[in-house]
């Protein structure tokens, strides 16, 4: 058997169930890996070793008694610091929140733990999870293991970097503006942004404020891993209904079979606003892999991507723009907030009189489009991982970046599911693509992503580079 930290969640669960390895051995292997590899990347911010080993002992005792085991029995996972985990501060990367300790788990974390998963650590996030690079004054920066001079992405950059070097097989992130998919692209891992309403969302800290309307509609929790099958396994065990989330829907995990071959709309340069050559090459390589797996690929543009992105930024600007209050956030985060507010305003000069009403029209156009093309294949961002510090340069850079993530935020605006998958390496950096489906058809996304993964393989774990 390969070193345990190199294995995926599904393989570890099967090995534990077959008694080829104990839960304690699995947990200890990952704790040793964190000790050896985390100092170079600063992805895991809090190691919950004592707690994890105690849970491992209980898990092994359950195996010894012949108890029924959950699908994730003994599998280590991490939880981003903006997600509630009982007894561990939900810092959101903010020094002022370092003492905010929730009494109970967030709904989906409770479900995953009930399925047998063991939390071994917390992972880094930018302040309030509101930046496309992972850094904060409380925990410091997370470094991209492929190239420390490039961003690991944000806001789930801690989980993506940790996965890339094998600190755990499963991470829990969230996605408000690509915060699962963008770090997955940067670090060469895979991640699922589920449909709006699929995974329950609720804060458990007493007195936590209600989220703004855009966060209610556009932000979702989702799994991150190195293998697509592990995303599916996690999704199956974090999608149960919870009354604390009034928008949660107990939708089936598999829908009706579409006609074969499944038609895929390919967009290499969404809205024709430009795409870097390495990114375009990766998208076309993914299209060839899916075609080899029997999918029918047609290069056709989905509707109104540019306008969808404009509406997204308009709504964020008026509802919950990046925080920039001095004394609450760091100087870097305050600067990021100012630059992005300016870029949002420039991007939305043609403002809608009723952005939510116009959103409905775009959603309908996409729904009709996806009735013909159940899947859309395109880039995550239209540029690879940017140099560290780029997002603090000026509003002009920020404006170009908003254009680069136009397909990302279209997905968020419309509440669609999307899987980010690595397609290879270009010029020393991982390149990823995303596969988008209609609401609650994560099954189609995951099926296609697994098919592509069979053709191109995976590119992590790796040893961190300088």
> Of the listed 10, 15, 22, 155, which one is catalytic?
155
Phi, psi of 222 (to 5 degrees): -155, 160
- What residue has token string 């534990």? 16
> Of the listed 10, 15, 22, 80, which one is catalytic?
80
- Asked if 82 and 128 count as a contact pair (C-beta separation under 8 A), the reply is yes
Which residue, among 229, 163, 274, 134, has the nearest Cα to 419 in the 3D structure? 229
- Asked if 114 and 105 count as a contact pair (C-beta separation under 8 A), the reply is no
DSSP E strands in 226-332: the ranges are 263-266, 296-299
Which residue, among 382, 381, 305, 313, has the nearest Cα to 343 in the 3D structure? 313
* CA–CA gap between residue 105 and residue 363 (Å, rounded): 33
- By CB atoms closer than 10 A (0-12, 13-18, 19+), residue 215 is middle
Q: Would residue 80 show up in a list of annotated catalytic residues for this protein?
A: yes
Q: Would residue 88 show up in a list of annotated catalytic residues for this protein?
A: no
Q: Would residue 438 show up in a list of annotated catalytic residues for this protein?
A: no
- Structure token digits, residue 191: 């991640």
Which residue, among 53, 46, 52, 112, has the nearest Cα to 80 in the 3D structure? 46
- What residue has token string 């990046």? 322
**How many residues would you count in the chain?**
466
Q: Rounded to 10 degrees, what is the CA torsion of 333, 335, 340, 342? A: 150
Angle 157-164/23-41 helices, nearest 10 degrees?
Answer: 110
* CA–CA gap between residue 329 and residue 332 (Å, rounded): 8
Q: Enumerate the active-site residues.
A: 80, 155, 179
């Amino acid at each position: 058997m390969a070193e345990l930290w190199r294995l995926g969640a599904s393989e570890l669960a099967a090995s534990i169930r077959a008694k080829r390895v104990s839960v304690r051995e699995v947990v200890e292997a990952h704790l040793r890996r964190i000790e050896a590899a985390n100092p170079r990347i600063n992805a895991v911010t809090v190691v919950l070793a004592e707690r994890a080993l105690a849970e491992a002992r209980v898990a092994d005792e359950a195996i010894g008694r012949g108890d029924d085991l959950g699908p994730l029995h003994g599998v280590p996972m991490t939880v981003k610091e903006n997600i509630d985990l009982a007894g561990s501060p939900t810092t959101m990367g903010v020094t002022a929140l370092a003492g905010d300790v929730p009494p109970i788990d967030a709904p989906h974390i409770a479900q995953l733990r009930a399925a047998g998963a063991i939390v071994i650590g917390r992972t880094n996030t930018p302040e309030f999870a509101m930046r496309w690079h992972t850094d904060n004054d409380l925990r410091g920066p997370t470094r991209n293991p492929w190239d420390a001079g490039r961003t690991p992405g944000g806001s789930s950059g801690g989980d993506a970097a940790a996965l890339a070097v094998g600190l755990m097989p499963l991470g829990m992130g969230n996605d408000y503006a690509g915060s699962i998919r963008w770090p997955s692209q940067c670090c060469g891992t895979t991640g699922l942004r589920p449909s709006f309403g699929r995974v329950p969302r609720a804060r458990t800290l007493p007195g936590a404020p209600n989220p703004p309307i855009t966060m209610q509609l556009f932000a979702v929790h989702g799994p991150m891993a190195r293998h697509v099958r592990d995303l599916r396994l996690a999704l199956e065990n974090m999608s149960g209904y919870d009354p604390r989330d009034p928008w949660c829907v107990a939708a089936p995990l598999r829908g009706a079979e579409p006609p074969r071959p499944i038609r895929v709309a390919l967009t290499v340069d969404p809205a024709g606003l430009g795409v870097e050559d390495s990114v375009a090459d990766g998208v076309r390589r993914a299209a060839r892999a899916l075609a080899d797996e029997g999918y029918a690929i047609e290069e056709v543009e989905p509707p109104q991507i540019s306008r969808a992105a404009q509406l997204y930024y308009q709504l964020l600007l008026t509802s919950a723009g990046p925080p920039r209050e001095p004394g609450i956030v760091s100087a870097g985060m305050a600067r990021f907030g100012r630059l992005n507010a300016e870029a949002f305003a420039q991007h939305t000069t043609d403002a809608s009189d009723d952005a939510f009403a116009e959103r409905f029209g775009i959603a309908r156009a996409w729904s009709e489009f996806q009735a013909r093309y159940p899947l859309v294949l395109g880039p995550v961002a239209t540029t690879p991982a940017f140099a560290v510090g780029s997002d603090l340069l000026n509003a002009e850079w920020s404006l170009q970046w908003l254009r680069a993530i136009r397909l990302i935020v279209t997905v968020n605006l419309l509440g669609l599911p999307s899987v980010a998958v690595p397609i290879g390496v270009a010029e020393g950096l991982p390149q990823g693509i995303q596969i988008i489906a209609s609401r609650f058809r994560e099954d189609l996304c995951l099926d296609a992503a697994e098919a592509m993964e069979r053709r191109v393989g995976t590119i992590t774990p790796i040893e961190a580079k300088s």
